[in-house]
Structure 1
Amino acid sequence: MKLHFQQVDVFSTEPFKGNPLAVVTGADSLTDAQMAAIANWTNLSETSFLLKPSSPEADYRVRIFTPHSELPFAGHPTLGSAHVWQTLSHTSEKGPEKDLIVQECAAGLVPIRKLAGGLAFAAPPRRRCGPASEEERNRALQALRLNADDVLDIQWADNGPGWLVLHLTDREAVLAIQPDWAALVGQKLGVVGKWEKEPAASGACFEVRALVGENPGYEDPVTGSLNASIAQWLIESGKAPERYTAFQGTALGRAGRVSIEKQGDDIWVGGAVVTRIDGTIAL
């Protein structure tokens, strides 16, 4: 059996500077075990599988796997999957590109719209928010080798993957972090700090890092789900304007750019998506 396969670069227009995503389309015939095996084999942070929707409101359904588990929602797989679905639909008999796409995933229905040069999804509700406990704070500080006075606040900002977020004083403090990977096991930590000197013509900017304590631990290059929940927290608390740009991947030599914009009750999280590999996967 052969299925259509694409690998896309999300959140950057520079070749190989975003976050890669593997996408398998027409995956309805695959078992859970086959999806898990493919995701483990691609060894990317996420692999997504496009299926027929079960909701009449959705254009497609997606299942998102890391090399080790399945996620109810993730940001760069949402934009990457929508890009692949839209590309294939536009080149088939289904008709022209849609201005609004509705994705079905385990977290529910997620609207996705076209942007100039990319796509944006509406941030889903957080499953957990609010201050971290003293024990959670101490574990996070130990894992990131930080002192309490290095941090402005620590809050849960989890929309599925399990993010606990540390708000630091500035961008330089974010980039200076050298994690203790052994202490980080079992935690998923986001870190955010404001640019003191904002890049010319780009408005308010924040630096973001995503540190995942799986075994082995790793840093995710550019993370849509984390940026979505950070934006919800910072905007509603008045710590960020309703429109800004998040930079991510700097510490890894990447050039991730995530656009954040609040419109009405929704916060839209957007960026570029570019196809880098297009072919088939054989099972």
Structure 2
Amino acid sequence: MRSVPFVTVDVFTTSRFAGNPLAVIPDARDLDSAQMQSIATEFGYSESTFVLPPSSPDNTARVRIFTPTAEIPFAGHPNVGTAYVLGRQDEIFGKKAKELGGIIRFEENAGLVEVVLADSERSEVTGARIRAPAPLSVRHDVVPVDLVARCVSIDPAQVKTSPYGPVIASVGLDFAFAELVSLEALGACRPDVSVFREAASTYGAAASGFPLLAQWHSVARARARSKSKSGFFEFIRYIRARMFAPLDDVMEDPATGSASGALAAFLVSQVPEADVEVELTVEQGVEMGRRSIIELKVVKEGGQVTEVYITGQCVMVMQGTVTV
């Protein structure tokens, strides 16, 4: 038997015991894939990360991300939290990151993820901003409103179909999105595992799509400025969301950066302006008592979403060892 150090952090929050918890194994060189999966299952968090040496010296680390049931190619809060942990380790990563203007790069199954560390006035790492590794992709399946409603045990009339109905989108990991008519409807959602299984069998081609269903409700609109000289346009700036992943043994996730990034990118793709730059905020985890704040920035050029940035603050919680 041997002991492997770990740390846990709460991500997308500045308050301990809020946000989304993450377990990080800063040195996973002696672990195989089965052991990584077992450790992630033991922690039971929505994700755990395992840090390995990069294949290229130009990059900071290779990062593998596991849910309690499977390895996934990309996720938002694991990248933000892992960057926060490594950025605070000056003797290993911090100095190199500072030489690159606070930038570190993670090799992941979804591609190369660039992370910018966030510093406080005391030059202490407080969080990170990541750039989504993949361009926006939208599946053109017609996701039945009835199926969405049954997944979360609400009346189909609570699911909006205008200006667009439920959709599957991704900036590195597929999610199904549906807008609800009110915050009351959002609060009433209760995942039904049997219906999620039904949805997963129907939409099996989206490996992480329908099993990871996101519900959202916009609570504020504002005037956003176009990058071109066409002026301003109406845009959602604040969103309350919930995300359920019962087939990954995560009945509800307190904060889902990859889902928020995909949702923000999809919304910006729908505005008529060809060149825009939009910032918006997703609030998640409220119903769980783990309020999370996810800040997003989306750039659209020539009619295509070209960049999606996901930003969050973090706080240290625990450290120790895992015996394997």
Band of TM-score, shorter chain: 0.7 to 0.9
Residue type of the alignment partner of 1:163? F
Q: Does the alignment pair 1:146 with 2:151? A: no
Q: What's the CA shift for 1:249? A: 0.2
8 A contact 1:20–1:44 mirrored in 2: yes
Structure 1 residues 21 and 216 mapped into 2: Cα distance closer, same or farther (>3 Å)? closer
Separation in 2 of the partners of 1:219 and 1:112?
Answer: 26
Q: Which residue in the other structure is 2:280 paired with?
A: 244
Bigger radius of gyration among the two: 2
Structure 1: distance between partners of 2:60 and 2:93: 15
The one-letter code sitting in structure 1 at the alignment partner of 2:319 is D
Change (3 A) 1:149 1:177: closer
The correspondence for 2:214, drawn from 184, 190, 195, is: 190
Residue among 113, 117, 130 paired with 1:121: 130
Shift of 1:196: 4.3
The Cα of 1:180 is off from its aligned counterpart by 2.6
**Cα shift at 1:91:** 3.7
- Structure 2 residue runs of 5 or longer lacking an equivalent are 120-125, 201-210, 223-235, 301-305
| Bigger mean CA offset, 162-171 vs 124-133 | 124-133
How far has the Cα of 1:86 moved from its partner? 1.2
Aligned partner (choices 99, 103, 128) of residue 100 of structure 1: 103
Alignment of 1:55-66 (within 5 A): 55-66=56-67
Q: Check the 8 A contact 1:181/1:217 in 2, yes or no.
A: no
Alignment identity in percent?
30
SS in 1 for 2:174: coil
Q: Which residue of 1 aligns with 2:192?
A: 180
What are the Cα deviations for residues 56-80 of structure 1, in whole angstroms up to 9, with x where unaligned? 4321111111111111111111111
Q: What is the CA deviation profile of residues 58-115 of structure 1, one whole-angstrom value per residue up to 9, with x for unaligned ones? A: 2111111111111111111111111111112x14487264311111110010111133
Residues in 2 aligned to 1:55 and 1:137: alpha-carbon distance in whole angstroms: 46
Structure 1 CA distance, aligned partners of 2:78 and 2:246?
20
Query: Runs of 5+ in structure 1 lacking a partner?
Result: none
Larger mean Cα displacement after TM superposition, 167-176 or 2-11: 167-176
Task: Give the alignment of 1:218-237 within 5 angstroms.
Answer: 218-237=251-270
Between 96-105 and 50-59, report the one with greater CA deviation. 96-105
Matched, 1:207 2:240: yes
1:270 pairs with 2:311: yes
Do the aligned residues in 1 keep the contact of 2:136 with 2:262 (CA within 8 Å)?
no
Instruction: Please list the CA deviations of residues 195-249 of structure 1 after superposition, one character each: whole Å capped at 9, or x if unmatched.
Output: 1489xxxx93101111113175601111111111111101121299811111000
What is the Cα deviation at residue 160 of structure 1?
4.5
- Distance in 2, Cα, partners of 1:56 & 1:138: 50
RMSD, matched Cα: 2.6
Does the Cα contact within 8 Å between 2:293 and 2:312 map onto a contact in 1? Answer: yes
Letter in 2 for 1:118: G
Figure out how many residues of one structure are paired with residues of the other and give that number: 277
